[in-house]
Structure 1
Amino acid sequence: MSDLDQLTQSLARNLKHWRGERGLTLDTLAARSGVSRGMIIQIEQARTNPSVGTTVKLADALGVSITTLLDYEQGPQVRLVPPEQTVRLWSTSTGSSARLLVGAERRGPLEMWAWKLMPGDRSESDPHPEGTVELLHVSAGELTLVVDGEAYPVAAGTSATFEANVSHAYRNDGEDTVEMTMAVAVPPVR
């Protein structure tokens, strides 16, 4: 399946899901978003690949992020996203591109971190507040992600997300340096 086919299928599935979740008819979503009813039907049936602007209008009308509309369906507590399952949003003939690695729908503070773990090193974390989500992408080496006592190997090029309200740790069990980018989404204080 091509990147474009994958993007079209993800958008169709997620648009249907969130429209249903919000209890919106096609006509209501069309009125809220400024996107025609016919275009919404085509998107939900995976018969068209809309512009980024149209996708943003739909996301705004549904009250979700564009990441939520383009990302694969959420699964278990820990979701690994191998390189072949990432979604390329756009690319140019000269080689520029944007790729959605992994996303989660949350409100509140969001932090992005650059990590480097040398061979044999580890970092442990106590549980964060309920609703905290961490997202990470390993760019070099192989990370061992431990969530609630279960270890997950995360190879270079792979992304992951998990609910961080349980104990978790990052280990480098290999012989190469691990480099990763991590984002932390903390729920707002109520």
Structure 2
Amino acid sequence: MSELDQLTQSLARNLKRLRGERGFTLDALAARAGVSRGMIIQIEQARTNPSVGTTVKLADALGVSIATLLDHEQGSPVRLVPESRAVRMWSTDTGSSATLLLGTDARGLLELWSWRLMPGDGRASDPHPEGAIELLHVTTGELTLVVDGAPYAVPAGGSASFEAHHPHAYRNDGPDPVEVTMAVSIPPVR
């Protein structure tokens, strides 16, 4: 089974389980996530690989991290994630990418990300639920962080935090690659 097939199967199994644990009908989850009922059915039957945006909306609606939605492992109080198990969520032909390094659901979700944006590339994010916070640290290049339409320059060595329920995007307007480590915190579903 390919890595993509394993990811599709994990997503299908976990989405159905988490929806059931929360007592959400297909219609209720569709309404909470802003994702069609038909798409949720296809995902739960492992017949499709949804976009990153759809996966994020479903995770947010369920109050879990993307890592939990894609591969829910429990057991030891320590969870080690080798580089080979990190999940590449998106990439471009020019070499930009975002990799979910690790996530947890303890007291709300918390995710750790590694992003690489090549010159001229950018990525918009749907707003997260109220109370969500993102922290980021630029290790290489200069990131243009756009929150609620306003751009903020974050140079290498600089950090930023923002309320992630606002529309936001990440851009590389410079000539060099940008590398960012980001943490996303979303409060538990009430």
What TM-score, normalized by structure 1, do the two folds share? 0.50
Which residue is equivalent to 2:6? 6
Residues of 1 paired with 2:78 and 2:68: CA distance?
A: 17
Give the 3-state SS of the residue equivalent to 1:80 in structure 2: coil
The 1:3/1:87 distance shift into structure 2, 3 A limit, reads farther
Q: Which residue of 2 aligns with 1:102?
A: 102
In the TM superposition, structure 1's runs of 4+ consecutive aligned residues that sit over 4 Å from their partners are: none
Report deviation, 1:28: 1.6
The total of aligned residue pairs comes to 116
Specify the structure having the higher radius of gyration (Cα).
1
Aligned-pair CA distance for 1:60: 2.2
Cα separation, 2, equivalents of 1:89 and 1:109: 17
| Residue 109 of structure 1: how far off its partner (Å) | 11
Q: Percent identity?
A: 79
2:62 and 2:72 map into 1 onto residues whose CA distance is 17
Alpha-carbon offset, residue 89 of structure 1: 0.8
CA–CA separation in structure 2 for the residues paired with 1:24 and 1:46: 19
Letter in 2 for 1:42: Q
Whether the 8 Å CA contact 2:65–2:109 is kept in 1: the answer is no
Question: Could you tell me how far apart the structure 1 residues matched to 2:108 and 2:40 are?
Answer: 30
In structure 2, C-alpha distance between the alignment counterparts of 1:50 and 1:14, rounded to whole Å: 14
Letter in 1 for 2:101: L
- The correspondence of residues 23-172 of structure 1 with structure 2, limited to 5 A, is 23-107=23-107
Separation in 2 of the partners of 1:4 and 1:97?
17
**In 1: Cα distance, 2:2 partner to 2:28 partner:** 32
Cα RMSD, aligned residues only: 3.2
Tell me the secondary structure at the aligned position of residue 10 of structure 1.
Answer: helix
Gaps of 5+ in 1: 113-180, 186-190
Distance 1:76 1:43 in 2: 29
> TM-score scaled to structure 2, two decimals?
0.50
The alpha carbon displacement at 1:49 in A equals 1.0
Q: What are the superposed Cα offsets for residues 119-147 of structure 1, whole Å, 9 maximum, x if unpaired?
A: xxxxxxxxxxxxxxxxxxxxxxxxxxxxx
Inter-partner Cα distance in structure 1 for 2:77 and 2:66? 21
CA shift in 2, pair 1:6/1:92, >3 Å: farther
C-alpha distance in 2, partners of 1:46/1:59? 16
Give CA deviations for 1:128-177 in whole Å, capped at 9, x if unaligned. xxxxxxxxxxxxxxxxxxxxxxxxxxxxxxxxxxxxxxxxxxxxxxxxxx
